[in-house]
A and B are shown apart, each in its own frame.
Chain A
Amino acid sequence: MKSTKFTPARKLSKEEIDRKWWEIGDYFRRNSLWMLMYCTGCCAIELPPAMTSAYDMERLGMGPMATPRQADILLISGYLSVKSLRRVIYTYEQMSEPKYVVGLGSCPINGGIYHDSHAVINQLDQYIPVDTYVSGCMPNTESVMNGFVDLMEQIKNKTAKGWIKYKENNEWYKSNQMAALGEVIIHDEFHE
């Protein structure tokens, strides 16, 4: 026979309360992603059809924003020369948390068609953490939209943890950046 003693509801522990708030936050974050209009290479040509009436990014809740402090997604669209990588790392560190990185095209994955150039980096994942890749050279606009929906799924499943990885493994990322670039922030106005 079931006991008739009154058992109060189990009090939630602190981690569970934090996790519930985080889930609510994730619902808002994945349905309203704002991307930084920072077009590095040739894959940027796929963005205008995605933003406008052809494939309509706005129905997913995504939209372009002007500065890194306001944006959630940093879109690396194409190859990154050494000069650009310094600015991309500076921009990534200026963004507000939580932040996500999407790599468009084959160049962030393994260098693409510029893989044997002396001025282009091959694997973006060594320098800043990437959450989603969209491969192709260049990918179709439907693939780009698919990539965004994948990112939203990753946020829902809590696997989009690039920014936490960056904070925890900061020394590893910094040593990679120093090895490739020498210095990230240029020390005076006369160098590049």
Chain B
Amino acid sequence: MASIEFLILLLVASSLIAYLLTKVNSFLGSVFTIFASMFVFVSLAAYGFNATLVTDVLYLPGFTFGYTYLGAFFAIIVAFVYAMVSFFHPYFVDHYKYKNAYNMLFLLSLAGVLGAFFTDNFLQLFFFFELIVWSTMFLIPLGKSKSAAVTYFGYSAAGSFAMLFGIFVMRAQVGSFDMALGLSSLTGTNAIIVYVSFLIAAFAKLGVFPLHLWLPIAHGNAPHPFSPVLSGALVKLGAFVAVLALIRITPASGLITAINLPFAHYVVAILGAMSIVFGTLMAIREDDAKKLLAYSSMSHGGYIIVAFSLLDSVAYAGGFYHILAHALASAGAFMAIAAVARQTGTTKMSELGGIIHKMPITYIVYLVAIISMAGIPPMGGFISKWLIFQAVIDKGLIFIAVAVFFGSIGSFLYVFRPLAALFLGQELPQFKKTVKEAPILMLIPMVIITLLNIYTGVLPDKLFGFINKIIGELGFAPIVTSTFELHGYNGILNPALIAGIFGFGVVIAFIIFISLKKSKQVSLMETYTAANFIHTEELLHYSLDFYAPLERLYAKYINVMTDFFAALANKVKELGRLGKYLFMSKYVEVAIFWIVAITAFLLWGEIL
């Protein structure tokens, strides 16, 4: 019998033990981290699926935990990503300056995650949120740059304090911090205030337009084994808050009858759609592979927001499945890039090429991950996108449909770029001798994630059973599924059939291929060059400015949001200078002005 409190205390204790062990021997400390996180994940999955987790609190004073299907869903996904990424630690921890703290902060943030998803009291939710933000804030600067942590903390703090404000407004009206009852009984302007402040928190954590600027900075500069956790797991906290805000609160706003959606939810959907489009456009022009995947996380965050703002159970099922599929795909892609970065030392695509010939298994992991990210059958991303399409078409939302289709097709472009520029193409001479395949302990989690990507695309039935329970808990009708089929509003999907026929087609093509004459194997440098004789590989590798003709069309507008936030920061500094002039000045006349003003104010009622 596992209890949530036991798991959290175990994690806090093992973070201290990991700190001490890493001080002694970093390999031992990392192996201990692997064991701790795998133990937590296995017990969560085994007891969490069947709803048999114990929620009693024996040792921690004042904390209460509650089990909800929603919280269990998120916690299992996040714990799984943490457990898989911990396999990378033995190979990476030695590179960092404060390596003892790395394992400790990793396990501490996992403790915070468990507490955040299983609590039933809003103030505790805020406490665990801040625990996560503080422990990860000290992990990020171990990578490339220190100012990335400042940006990350700034946006997270803005979100957390907005949520705290919303919590207190809710308490003022309802009278308690309880999660299950509190939100549904809000009325009037309080509902709108709490709705807006929770959404600010959700947008800041999820990285959705307009609060997205920290995503490329934090993900691009974080240490290589931590980026999969940031993108695959921690942004799901924002999705959790978004679900609470969008589904549980009913703000009083007018209903747009043409599409049967309240105005407040439509505005949120528009913001999500803009996030999809801008994330796609910014990802297309990015040269660093990790920043590209960070912008892709922004785009997928937009999909999640659009899915949850539609007030429709098919859309909710699509949104939940998208959270699962995106977590797996993003973790897989980031882990493949981390493996490449360990061997070659860089993640910039213009400096790499032809890695597939030395690291074929990493290539296959990355390929399956991006097939799922782009929403192509037979992987999991296609099912979630199909459900979101069904909901959007059924409601007749045209402009959101433009953005959703644009994001879906545009994602082919930016996920293909690392494939062609980094893995394929000419083999650069500086990597021919030194690059080898990733070690076996790093290959195991990548292969597991690949197999799960395929499983979520072919047999989604059990997962939809669990998701239907979540939708029922939120108060909507469950979607219709059977063993192999999914029913949308205007069509039926059979993912196993698609995967089976795809396999059949590949077998036919393979039979045609091997029954014909065998090809002669030649090297990559013997290629068509209009009969020019070539001697350098770098000149024949197309990787820099891959989509240059498309980028030129919008190159003038890429700095709009950064300029806006920089101008906002300048205005805040000017306000501070004004305050300093008025209240902390060294000039005599300002002091005399204040003396006269305060005296006049005190004598107002008596003399005048």
Direct contact of A and B (CB under 8 A): yes
The chain A residues found within 8 Å of chain B, CB to CB, are 67-69, 87-88, 90-91, 94, 185-186, 188-189
Q: Does B586 reach chain A (CB closer than 8 Å)?
A: no
Q: Does B557 reach chain A (CB closer than 8 Å)?
A: no
Q: How far is the CB of A56 from chain B (nearest CB, A)?
A: 28
Q: Which of B41-49, B182-190, B229-237, B525-533 contacts A (4 or more CB under 8 A)?
A: B525-533
In the complex formed, the residue of A with least CB distance to B535 is A189
Contact of A87 among B526, B531, B536 (CB under 8 A): B531
| Residues of A close to B526: CB separation below 8 A | 94
CB under 8 Å from chain A, chain B span 510-547 = 526, 528, 531-533, 535-536
The complex places the Cα of A90 from the Cα of B526 at a distance, in Å, of 10
| Residues of A close to B535: CB separation below 8 A | 188-189
| Residues of B close to A185: CB separation below 8 A | 533
In the complex formed, the residue of B with least CB distance to A189 is B535
Q: How far is the CB of A54 from chain B (nearest CB, A)?
A: 28
CB under 8 Å from chain A, chain B span 7-33 = none
The complex places the Cα of A99 from the Cα of B206 at a distance, in Å, of 60
Main secondary structure of the interface of A (DSSP, over half): loop
On whether the beta carbons of B533 and A91 are closer than 8 Å, the reply is no
Contact of A67 among B528, B532, B533 (CB under 8 A): B528
The complex places the Cα of A88 from the Cα of B528 at a distance, in Å, of 13
Q: How far is the CB of B385 from chain A (nearest CB, A)?
A: 37
The complex places the Cα of A186 from the Cα of B533 at a distance, in Å, of 7
Contact of B531 among A69, A90, A188, A189 (CB under 8 A): A90
Extra contacts besides A88-B531, A188-B535 (12): CB < 8 Å: A67-B528, A68-B528, A69-B528, A87-B531, A87-B532, A90-B531, A90-B533, A91-B531, A94-B526, A94-B528, A185-B533, A189-B535
> Interface centre among A68, A94, A188, by most B CB within 10 Å?
A94
Give the A-B contact count at a CB cut-off of 8 A.
Answer: 16
In the complex formed, the residue of A with least CB distance to B528 is A67
In the complex formed, the residue of B with least CB distance to A186 is B533
The chain B residues found within 8 Å of chain A, CB to CB, are 526, 528, 531-533, 535-536
| Residues of A close to B532: CB separation below 8 A | 87
Which 7 residue pairs of A and B lie closest in terms of their CB atoms, listed nearest first?
Answer: A87-B531, A186-B533, A67-B528, A91-B531, A90-B531, A189-B535, A185-B533
| Residues of B close to A94: CB separation below 8 A | 526, 528
| Residues of B close to A88: CB separation below 8 A | 531
| Residues of B close to A186: CB separation below 8 A | 533
16 A-B contacts (beta carbon < 8 Å) = A67-B528, A68-B528, A69-B528, A87-B531, A87-B532, A88-B531, A90-B531, A90-B533, A91-B531, A94-B526, A94-B528, A185-B533, A186-B533, A188-B535, A189-B535, A189-B536
The complex places the Cα of A69 from the Cα of B520 at a distance, in Å, of 12
The complex places the Cα of A67 from the Cα of B530 at a distance, in Å, of 8
In the complex formed, the residue of B with least CB distance to A84 is B531
| Residues of A close to B528: CB separation below 8 A | 67-69, 94
Q: How far is the CB of A95 from chain B (nearest CB, A)?
A: 11
Q: How far is the CB of A45 from chain B (nearest CB, A)?
A: 21
Q: How far is the CB of B535 from chain A (nearest CB, A)?
A: 6
The complex places the Cα of A90 from the Cα of B530 at a distance, in Å, of 10
| Residues of B close to A67: CB separation below 8 A | 528
> Interface centre among B528, B532, B535, B536, by most A CB within 10 Å?
B528
| Residues of A close to B533: CB separation below 8 A | 90, 185-186
In the complex formed, the residue of B with least CB distance to A90 is B531
Q: How far is the CB of A50 from chain B (nearest CB, A)?
A: 23
Q: How far is the CB of B53 from chain A (nearest CB, A)?
A: 62
| Residues of B close to A90: CB separation below 8 A | 531, 533
Q: How far is the CB of B426 from chain A (nearest CB, A)?
A: 16
| Residues of A close to B536: CB separation below 8 A | 189
The complex places the Cα of A16 from the Cα of B570 at a distance, in Å, of 87
In the complex formed, the residue of B with least CB distance to A184 is B533
In the complex formed, the residue of B with least CB distance to A191 is B533
The complex places the Cα of A68 from the Cα of B497 at a distance, in Å, of 41
Q: How far is the CB of B21 from chain A (nearest CB, A)?
A: 56
The complex places the Cα of A185 from the Cα of B528 at a distance, in Å, of 14
Q: How far is the CB of A55 from chain B (nearest CB, A)?
A: 28
The complex places the Cα of A90 from the Cα of B531 at a distance, in Å, of 7
In the complex formed, the residue of A with least CB distance to B517 is A97
Q: How far is the CB of A92 from chain B (nearest CB, A)?
A: 10
Q: How far is the CB of A25 from chain B (nearest CB, A)?
A: 10
Q: How far is the CB of B410 from chain A (nearest CB, A)?
A: 30
The complex places the Cα of A189 from the Cα of B534 at a distance, in Å, of 8
In the complex formed, the residue of A with least CB distance to B522 is A94
Q: How far is the CB of B362 from chain A (nearest CB, A)?
A: 30
| Residues of B close to A188: CB separation below 8 A | 535
Q: How far is the CB of B277 from chain A (nearest CB, A)?
A: 37
The complex places the Cα of A87 from the Cα of B532 at a distance, in Å, of 7
Q: How far is the CB of B529 from chain A (nearest CB, A)?
A: 9
| Residues of A close to B531: CB separation below 8 A | 87-88, 90-91
The complex places the Cα of A69 from the Cα of B535 at a distance, in Å, of 20
The complex places the Cα of A30 from the Cα of B556 at a distance, in Å, of 55
Q: How far is the CB of B536 from chain A (nearest CB, A)?
A: 8
| Residues of B close to A91: CB separation below 8 A | 531
In the complex formed, the residue of A with least CB distance to B532 is A87
Q: How far is the CB of B513 from chain A (nearest CB, A)?
A: 16
Q: How far is the CB of B289 from chain A (nearest CB, A)?
A: 31
The complex places the Cα of A91 from the Cα of B536 at a distance, in Å, of 19
In the complex formed, the residue of B with least CB distance to A68 is B528
Q: How far is the CB of B195 from chain A (nearest CB, A)?
A: 60
The complex places the Cα of A186 from the Cα of B531 at a distance, in Å, of 11
The complex places the Cα of A99 from the Cα of B37 at a distance, in Å, of 63
In the complex formed, the residue of B with least CB distance to A69 is B528
Q: How far is the CB of B145 from chain A (nearest CB, A)?
A: 40
Q: How far is the CB of A81 from chain B (nearest CB, A)?
A: 13
In the complex formed, the residue of B with least CB distance to A92 is B531
The complex places the Cα of A85 from the Cα of B526 at a distance, in Å, of 18
Q: How far is the CB of B537 from chain A (nearest CB, A)?
A: 13
